[in-house]
Amino acid sequence: PRPSGVTCRSTRRRWDRWLTVQTPSVLAERFIAELRDQSFRVFSGVPCSYLTPFMNAVTNADGLAYIGAANEGDAIAVAAGTQLGGTPAVVMFQNSGLGNAVNPLTSLTRPFRLPVLIITTWRGQPDGTPDEVQHEFMGSITPQLLELMGIPWEPFPASEAHVAEVVGRATTYMQERGQPYALILSEGTVPESSVASSEVIAQRPGTTTGAARVSLPVDEALRAVQSVTAGDVVIATTGYTGRGLYALDDRPNQLYMVGSMGCAPSLGLGLALARPDLKVVVLDGDGAALMRLGAYATVGRERPPNLVHVLLDNGIHESTGGQPTVGSHVDFPTIARAAGYPVVHSVESASELAHAVHAGGSGLKFVYARTALRPPEKLPRPSIGPADVAARLRSWMSS
Protein backbone atom coordinates (compact mmCIF):
# COMPACT_ATOMS: atom_id res chain seq x y z
CA PRO A 1 0.00 0.00 0.00
CA ARG A 2 1.06 3.56 -0.76
CA PRO A 3 0.91 6.30 1.85
CA SER A 4 -2.17 8.47 1.74
CA GLY A 5 -1.93 11.29 -0.76
CA VAL A 6 1.23 9.94 -2.42
CA THR A 7 1.31 8.04 -5.67
CA CYS A 8 4.34 6.78 -7.59
CA ARG A 9 5.38 3.80 -9.64
CA SER A 10 6.88 0.96 -7.65
CA THR A 11 10.64 0.92 -7.79
CA ARG A 12 10.71 -2.83 -7.43
CA ARG A 13 11.65 -4.21 -10.82
CA ARG A 14 12.00 -7.69 -12.27
CA TRP A 15 15.25 -8.39 -14.10
CA ASP A 16 16.49 -11.04 -16.52
CA ARG A 17 19.02 -13.02 -14.48
CA TRP A 18 19.72 -14.49 -11.04
CA LEU A 19 20.48 -11.72 -8.60
CA THR A 20 21.83 -11.60 -5.08
CA VAL A 21 19.23 -10.01 -2.82
CA GLN A 22 20.17 -8.50 0.52
CA THR A 23 17.66 -8.44 3.29
CA PRO A 24 17.43 -5.07 5.05
CA SER A 25 19.58 -4.53 8.14
CA VAL A 26 18.04 -4.44 11.61
CA LEU A 27 19.39 -0.92 12.21
CA ALA A 28 17.89 0.32 8.95
CA GLU A 29 14.52 -1.19 9.77
CA ARG A 30 14.60 0.35 13.26
CA PHE A 31 15.44 3.76 11.81
CA ILE A 32 12.62 3.54 9.27
CA ALA A 33 10.16 2.50 11.98
CA GLU A 34 11.09 5.60 13.97
CA LEU A 35 10.63 7.80 10.90
CA ARG A 36 7.26 6.20 10.28
CA ASP A 37 6.26 7.08 13.86
CA GLN A 38 7.19 10.69 13.04
CA SER A 39 4.91 10.64 9.95
CA PHE A 40 7.64 10.38 7.29
CA ARG A 41 6.18 8.50 4.35
CA VAL A 42 8.22 9.43 1.26
CA PHE A 43 11.87 8.73 0.42
CA SER A 44 13.61 10.06 -2.68
CA GLY A 45 17.21 9.72 -3.73
CA VAL A 46 20.08 8.58 -5.89
CA PRO A 47 21.87 5.29 -5.12
CA CYS A 48 25.18 4.88 -3.31
CA SER A 49 26.70 1.55 -2.29
CA TYR A 50 26.80 2.75 1.35
CA LEU A 51 23.03 3.20 1.17
CA THR A 52 22.13 -0.18 -0.34
CA PRO A 53 20.96 -1.85 2.92
CA PHE A 54 18.97 1.26 3.84
CA MET A 55 17.34 1.51 0.41
CA ASN A 56 16.47 -2.19 0.62
CA ALA A 57 14.69 -1.53 3.90
CA VAL A 58 12.75 1.39 2.42
CA THR A 59 11.61 -0.42 -0.72
CA ASN A 60 10.61 -3.51 1.29
CA ALA A 61 8.53 -1.52 3.79
CA ASP A 62 4.75 -1.32 3.42
CA GLY A 63 3.14 2.11 3.40
CA LEU A 64 6.25 3.97 2.21
CA ALA A 65 7.01 5.42 -1.20
CA TYR A 66 10.50 5.45 -2.69
CA ILE A 67 10.93 7.81 -5.65
CA GLY A 68 14.16 7.31 -7.57
CA ALA A 69 15.41 10.68 -8.80
CA ALA A 70 17.60 11.41 -11.82
CA ASN A 71 19.90 13.57 -9.70
CA GLU A 72 20.31 14.79 -6.14
CA GLY A 73 18.80 18.22 -6.76
CA ASP A 74 15.67 16.62 -8.19
CA ALA A 75 15.44 14.42 -5.09
CA ILE A 76 15.48 17.53 -2.88
CA ALA A 77 12.74 19.12 -5.00
CA VAL A 78 10.58 15.96 -4.87
CA ALA A 79 10.89 15.87 -1.08
CA ALA A 80 10.13 19.58 -0.84
CA GLY A 81 7.00 19.03 -2.91
CA THR A 82 5.70 16.27 -0.68
CA GLN A 83 6.45 18.44 2.35
CA LEU A 84 4.45 21.25 0.73
CA GLY A 85 1.59 18.76 0.40
CA GLY A 86 1.78 17.83 4.06
CA THR A 87 3.85 14.62 3.86
CA PRO A 88 7.33 14.77 5.44
CA ALA A 89 10.09 13.26 3.29
CA VAL A 90 13.63 11.92 3.45
CA VAL A 91 16.32 12.42 0.81
CA MET A 92 19.19 9.92 0.40
CA PHE A 93 22.27 10.29 -1.78
CA GLN A 94 26.04 10.04 -2.02
CA ASN A 95 28.02 13.08 -0.88
CA SER A 96 29.70 13.23 -4.29
CA GLY A 97 26.33 14.53 -5.52
CA LEU A 98 25.86 17.01 -2.69
CA GLY A 99 26.93 19.75 -5.08
CA ASN A 100 23.92 18.94 -7.30
CA ALA A 101 21.69 19.56 -4.28
CA VAL A 102 23.16 22.96 -3.33
CA ASN A 103 20.85 24.99 -5.57
CA PRO A 104 17.49 23.66 -4.33
CA LEU A 105 18.80 23.57 -0.75
CA THR A 106 19.65 27.28 -0.91
CA SER A 107 16.95 28.62 -3.23
CA LEU A 108 13.98 26.28 -2.70
CA THR A 109 13.82 24.65 0.71
CA ARG A 110 15.26 27.66 2.53
CA PRO A 111 13.12 30.57 1.25
CA PHE A 112 9.94 28.46 1.15
CA ARG A 113 10.65 26.91 4.56
CA LEU A 114 10.17 23.35 3.32
CA PRO A 115 12.26 21.12 5.61
CA VAL A 116 13.57 17.79 4.34
CA LEU A 117 15.63 15.22 6.20
CA ILE A 118 18.87 14.58 4.32
CA ILE A 119 20.86 11.36 4.61
CA THR A 120 24.14 11.83 2.76
CA THR A 121 26.91 9.27 2.69
CA TRP A 122 30.50 10.20 3.51
CA ARG A 123 32.67 8.83 0.76
CA GLY A 124 36.24 10.06 1.14
CA GLN A 125 35.89 10.60 4.89
CA PRO A 126 39.30 11.97 5.98
CA ASP A 127 39.74 9.56 8.89
CA GLY A 128 37.87 6.69 7.24
CA THR A 129 38.71 3.89 4.85
CA PRO A 130 40.83 5.11 1.90
CA ASP A 131 38.53 5.76 -1.04
CA GLU A 132 38.80 6.59 -4.74
CA VAL A 133 40.43 9.87 -5.73
CA GLN A 134 37.19 11.42 -7.01
CA HIS A 135 35.75 11.30 -3.48
CA GLU A 136 38.77 12.81 -1.73
CA PHE A 137 38.00 16.53 -1.92
CA MET A 138 34.23 16.34 -1.39
CA GLY A 139 34.88 13.97 1.49
CA SER A 140 37.09 16.59 3.11
CA ILE A 141 34.47 19.34 2.88
CA THR A 142 31.13 17.53 3.30
CA PRO A 143 30.41 18.72 6.88
CA GLN A 144 31.65 22.24 6.14
CA LEU A 145 29.51 22.47 2.99
CA LEU A 146 26.40 21.64 4.99
CA GLU A 147 27.39 24.16 7.64
CA LEU A 148 28.03 26.83 5.00
CA MET A 149 24.43 26.33 3.83
CA GLY A 150 23.22 26.66 7.41
CA ILE A 151 22.15 23.01 7.62
CA PRO A 152 22.85 21.37 10.98
CA TRP A 153 24.13 17.81 10.82
CA GLU A 154 25.17 14.88 12.95
CA PRO A 155 26.40 11.34 12.31
CA PHE A 156 23.82 8.73 11.35
CA PRO A 157 23.10 6.71 14.52
CA ALA A 158 25.46 3.76 14.81
CA SER A 159 23.18 1.71 17.05
CA GLU A 160 19.48 1.10 17.60
CA ALA A 161 19.75 2.66 21.05
CA HIS A 162 20.45 6.11 19.56
CA VAL A 163 17.89 6.10 16.76
CA ALA A 164 15.01 7.70 18.66
CA GLU A 165 17.06 10.60 20.03
CA VAL A 166 18.65 11.37 16.65
CA VAL A 167 15.32 11.30 14.80
CA GLY A 168 13.80 13.34 17.63
CA ARG A 169 16.41 16.08 17.31
CA ALA A 170 16.03 16.19 13.56
CA THR A 171 12.24 16.36 13.53
CA THR A 172 12.12 18.93 16.33
CA TYR A 173 14.54 21.19 14.49
CA MET A 174 12.68 20.87 11.18
CA GLN A 175 9.31 21.55 12.79
CA GLU A 176 10.56 24.57 14.75
CA ARG A 177 12.79 26.14 12.08
CA GLY A 178 11.20 24.97 8.85
CA GLN A 179 14.66 24.10 7.48
CA PRO A 180 16.50 20.90 6.44
CA TYR A 181 18.50 18.71 8.80
CA ALA A 182 21.25 16.31 7.71
CA LEU A 183 22.60 12.97 8.86
CA ILE A 184 26.00 11.89 7.54
CA LEU A 185 26.32 8.15 6.96
CA SER A 186 29.83 6.72 7.22
CA GLU A 187 30.87 3.47 5.59
CA GLY A 188 29.64 0.42 7.48
CA THR A 189 27.29 2.32 9.80
CA VAL A 190 24.29 0.44 8.43
CA PRO A 191 25.62 -3.12 8.17
CA GLU A 192 24.71 -5.53 5.42
CA SER A 193 22.43 -8.34 6.53
CA SER A 194 22.00 -11.92 5.47
CA VAL A 195 22.12 -12.63 1.77
CA ALA A 196 19.79 -14.92 -0.12
CA SER A 197 19.65 -15.89 -3.78
CA SER A 198 16.39 -15.50 -5.61
CA GLU A 199 15.37 -15.99 -9.20
CA VAL A 200 14.22 -12.84 -10.92
CA ILE A 201 11.88 -13.44 -13.82
CA ALA A 202 12.66 -11.84 -17.17
CA GLN A 203 10.43 -8.85 -17.64
CA ARG A 204 12.19 -5.52 -17.70
CA PRO A 205 9.69 -2.90 -18.82
CA GLY A 206 10.28 -2.11 -22.48
CA THR A 207 10.87 1.29 -24.01
CA THR A 208 8.78 2.71 -26.82
CA THR A 209 9.14 2.17 -30.54
CA GLY A 210 12.43 3.94 -31.29
CA ALA A 211 14.63 1.83 -29.03
CA ALA A 212 16.41 -1.49 -29.50
CA ARG A 213 14.87 -4.44 -27.66
CA VAL A 214 17.72 -6.95 -27.84
CA SER A 215 20.18 -6.76 -24.95
CA LEU A 216 23.84 -7.09 -25.94
CA PRO A 217 26.37 -8.61 -23.54
CA VAL A 218 28.06 -5.48 -22.27
CA ASP A 219 31.63 -6.60 -22.97
CA GLU A 220 30.65 -7.45 -26.54
CA ALA A 221 29.39 -3.89 -26.90
CA LEU A 222 32.60 -2.44 -25.48
CA ARG A 223 34.78 -4.68 -27.68
CA ALA A 224 32.76 -3.60 -30.71
CA VAL A 225 33.51 0.04 -29.95
CA GLN A 226 37.20 -0.67 -29.32
CA SER A 227 37.43 -2.55 -32.63
CA VAL A 228 36.76 0.63 -34.62
CA THR A 229 38.17 3.43 -32.44
CA ALA A 230 41.95 2.86 -32.36
CA GLY A 231 42.43 6.26 -33.99
CA ASP A 232 39.67 8.10 -32.11
CA VAL A 233 39.27 9.62 -28.66
CA VAL A 234 37.00 7.49 -26.46
CA ILE A 235 35.44 9.03 -23.33
CA ALA A 236 33.79 6.50 -21.01
CA THR A 237 31.20 7.59 -18.48
CA THR A 238 31.52 7.15 -14.71
CA GLY A 239 31.15 3.67 -13.21
CA TYR A 240 31.43 0.26 -14.80
CA THR A 241 31.59 1.53 -18.38
CA GLY A 242 35.04 3.00 -17.92
CA ARG A 243 36.21 0.15 -15.73
CA GLY A 244 34.95 -2.40 -18.24
CA LEU A 245 36.72 -0.63 -21.10
CA TYR A 246 39.92 -0.51 -19.06
CA ALA A 247 39.67 -4.22 -18.19
CA LEU A 248 39.27 -5.22 -21.84
CA ASP A 249 42.15 -3.11 -23.18
CA ASP A 250 43.70 -0.04 -21.59
CA ARG A 251 44.61 2.39 -24.36
CA PRO A 252 46.11 5.90 -24.35
CA ASN A 253 43.23 7.22 -26.47
CA GLN A 254 40.69 6.29 -23.75
CA LEU A 255 39.61 8.53 -20.88
CA TYR A 256 37.81 6.93 -17.93
CA MET A 257 35.62 9.47 -16.15
CA VAL A 258 35.29 9.36 -12.37
CA GLY A 259 32.69 11.34 -10.42
CA SER A 260 30.99 14.12 -12.43
CA MET A 261 28.19 11.71 -13.31
CA GLY A 262 26.32 12.69 -16.46
CA CYS A 263 29.03 15.06 -17.74
CA ALA A 264 30.58 12.76 -20.37
CA PRO A 265 28.57 14.15 -23.34
CA SER A 266 29.38 17.74 -22.36
CA LEU A 267 33.07 16.92 -21.92
CA GLY A 268 33.02 15.21 -25.30
CA LEU A 269 31.27 18.21 -26.85
CA GLY A 270 33.95 20.60 -25.60
CA LEU A 271 36.74 18.36 -26.85
CA ALA A 272 35.08 17.82 -30.24
CA LEU A 273 34.73 21.57 -30.72
CA ALA A 274 38.33 22.20 -29.70
CA ARG A 275 39.73 19.40 -31.88
CA PRO A 276 37.67 19.18 -35.08
CA ASP A 277 40.45 17.05 -36.58
CA LEU A 278 39.64 14.17 -34.24
CA LYS A 279 36.61 11.91 -33.92
CA VAL A 280 35.36 11.88 -30.32
CA VAL A 281 33.31 8.86 -29.18
CA VAL A 282 31.41 9.23 -25.91
CA LEU A 283 30.24 6.06 -24.14
CA ASP A 284 27.31 7.11 -21.97
CA GLY A 285 24.98 5.19 -19.63
CA ASP A 286 21.26 5.48 -18.96
CA GLY A 287 21.64 6.56 -15.32
CA ALA A 288 24.25 9.15 -16.22
CA ALA A 289 22.20 10.39 -19.19
CA LEU A 290 19.12 10.87 -17.04
CA MET A 291 21.12 12.82 -14.47
CA ARG A 292 21.95 15.56 -16.99
CA LEU A 293 19.50 15.04 -19.83
CA GLY A 294 19.63 18.75 -20.67
CA ALA A 295 23.08 18.17 -22.15
CA TYR A 296 21.37 16.51 -25.11
CA ALA A 297 19.87 19.86 -26.10
CA THR A 298 23.24 21.60 -25.93
CA VAL A 299 24.96 18.90 -27.97
CA GLY A 300 22.07 18.86 -30.46
CA ARG A 301 22.31 22.60 -30.94
CA GLU A 302 26.08 22.66 -31.48
CA ARG A 303 26.09 19.54 -33.68
CA PRO A 304 29.84 18.92 -33.98
CA PRO A 305 30.22 16.56 -36.98
CA ASN A 306 33.10 14.71 -35.29
CA LEU A 307 31.15 13.61 -32.18
CA VAL A 308 29.56 10.16 -31.77
CA HIS A 309 27.39 9.78 -28.66
CA VAL A 310 26.83 6.12 -27.73
CA LEU A 311 24.27 5.29 -25.04
CA LEU A 312 24.59 1.85 -23.43
CA ASP A 313 21.34 1.25 -21.55
CA ASN A 314 21.23 -1.57 -18.98
CA GLY A 315 18.39 -0.10 -16.91
CA ILE A 316 20.26 0.01 -13.61
CA HIS A 317 22.78 1.93 -11.53
CA GLU A 318 25.16 -0.99 -11.79
CA SER A 319 28.20 0.17 -9.83
CA THR A 320 26.18 1.18 -6.74
CA GLY A 321 24.35 -2.07 -6.18
CA GLY A 322 22.03 -2.58 -9.13
CA GLN A 323 19.14 -0.29 -8.26
CA PRO A 324 16.89 0.41 -11.28
CA THR A 325 17.12 3.74 -13.07
CA VAL A 326 13.97 5.63 -13.95
CA GLY A 327 14.65 5.11 -17.66
CA SER A 328 12.73 1.89 -18.25
CA HIS A 329 9.95 3.79 -20.03
CA VAL A 330 12.20 6.33 -21.79
CA ASP A 331 12.77 6.29 -25.55
CA PHE A 332 16.28 7.73 -25.69
CA PRO A 333 16.63 7.69 -29.51
CA THR A 334 13.48 9.79 -29.85
CA ILE A 335 14.80 12.22 -27.24
CA ALA A 336 18.06 12.54 -29.20
CA ARG A 337 16.15 13.28 -32.40
CA ALA A 338 14.01 15.86 -30.64
CA ALA A 339 17.12 17.48 -29.16
CA GLY A 340 18.60 18.00 -32.61
CA TYR A 341 20.88 15.02 -33.28
CA PRO A 342 20.74 14.69 -37.09
CA VAL A 343 21.78 11.02 -37.22
CA VAL A 344 20.27 8.48 -34.78
CA HIS A 345 20.87 4.72 -34.80
CA SER A 346 19.28 2.03 -32.65
CA VAL A 347 21.35 -1.16 -32.82
CA GLU A 348 20.82 -4.73 -31.67
CA SER A 349 24.13 -6.49 -32.38
CA ALA A 350 27.83 -5.91 -31.84
CA SER A 351 28.43 -5.67 -35.59
CA GLU A 352 25.67 -3.06 -35.97
CA LEU A 353 27.16 -1.08 -33.08
CA ALA A 354 30.65 -1.17 -34.58
CA HIS A 355 29.34 -0.12 -37.98
CA ALA A 356 27.28 2.75 -36.57
CA VAL A 357 30.26 4.12 -34.62
CA HIS A 358 32.70 3.69 -37.52
CA ALA A 359 30.47 4.70 -40.44
CA GLY A 360 31.67 7.70 -42.38
CA GLY A 361 29.69 10.73 -43.31
CA SER A 362 29.45 14.13 -41.75
CA GLY A 363 27.15 14.80 -38.84
CA LEU A 364 26.70 14.40 -35.14
CA LYS A 365 25.56 10.85 -34.36
CA PHE A 366 23.64 9.20 -31.55
CA VAL A 367 23.87 5.42 -31.22
CA TYR A 368 21.61 3.52 -28.79
CA ALA A 369 22.19 -0.04 -27.62
CA ARG A 370 20.43 -1.91 -24.85
CA THR A 371 22.91 -4.00 -22.86
CA ALA A 372 22.47 -6.94 -20.52
CA LEU A 373 23.51 -6.88 -16.89
CA ARG A 374 27.18 -7.57 -16.27
CA PRO A 375 28.22 -10.96 -14.86
CA PRO A 376 28.96 -10.75 -11.12
CA GLU A 377 32.77 -11.00 -11.29
CA LYS A 378 34.55 -7.95 -9.88
CA LEU A 379 35.90 -5.34 -12.29
CA PRO A 380 39.36 -3.86 -11.73
CA ARG A 381 39.79 -0.16 -11.20
CA PRO A 382 42.28 1.67 -13.44
CA SER A 383 45.75 1.61 -11.92
CA ILE A 384 46.49 4.95 -13.57
CA GLY A 385 45.04 8.03 -11.85
CA PRO A 386 42.71 10.56 -13.50
CA ALA A 387 45.37 13.27 -13.91
CA ASP A 388 47.71 10.78 -15.57
CA VAL A 389 44.90 9.49 -17.81
CA ALA A 390 44.25 13.06 -18.99
CA ALA A 391 47.97 13.76 -19.51
CA ARG A 392 48.35 10.51 -21.45
CA LEU A 393 45.39 11.43 -23.67
CA ARG A 394 46.80 14.91 -24.32
CA SER A 395 50.10 13.34 -25.36
CA TRP A 396 48.29 10.87 -27.65
CA MET A 397 46.28 13.68 -29.27
CA SER A 398 49.44 15.72 -29.96
CA SER A 399 51.36 12.84 -31.51
pLDDT by residue (tens digit) across 204-226? Answer: 444 444 555 668 999 999 999 99
User: 354: closest CA among 323, 390, 318, 310?
Assistant: 310
The residue-averaged pLDDT of 301-306 equals: 93
CA distances in angstroms from 213 to 184, 216, 336, listed in the order given: 40, 10, 17
Q: What is the mean pLDDT of the chain?
A: 84
Average of per-residue pLDDT across 243-253: 95
* Residues 336 and 309: beta-carbon distance below 8 Å: yes
Distance set, CA 323 to CA 52, 182, 374, 378 (Å): 8, 23, 13, 17
The length of the chain, given as a count of residues = 399
How high is the pLDDT of residue 6?
52
Is there a contact between 305 and 363 (Cβ–Cβ < 8 Å)?
Answer: yes
Which amino acid, residue 91?
V
Q: If you average pLDDT over residues 128-155, what whole number do you get? A: 90
- Please say if the pLDDT value at position 324 is more than 80: no
Per-residue confidence band for 10, with pLDDT thresholds at 50, 70 and 90? very low
SS (H, E, C) 178-236: CCCEEEEECCCCCCCCCEEEEECCCCCCCCCCCCCCCCECHHHHHHHHHCCCCCCEEEE
Smallest CA-to-CA distance from 366 within 316, 287, 299 is with: 299
pLDDT at 399 over 70: yes
Q: Is the pLDDT of residue 147 over 60?
A: yes
| Helix or strand run (H / E) with residue 66 | strand 65-68
% of the chain with per-residue pLDDT over 90: 51
Phi-psi region of 322 (alpha: psi -120 to 50; beta: other; left: phi over 0): left
pLDDT of residue 367: 97
Is residue 348 predicted with pLDDT exceeding 70?
A: yes
Helix, strand or coil, per DSSP, at residue 143: helix
- Does 315 score more than 50 pLDDT? yes
Q: Rounded to an integer, what distance in angstroms lies between the CA atom of residue 347 and that of residue 345?
A: 6
What is the reported pTM?
0.76
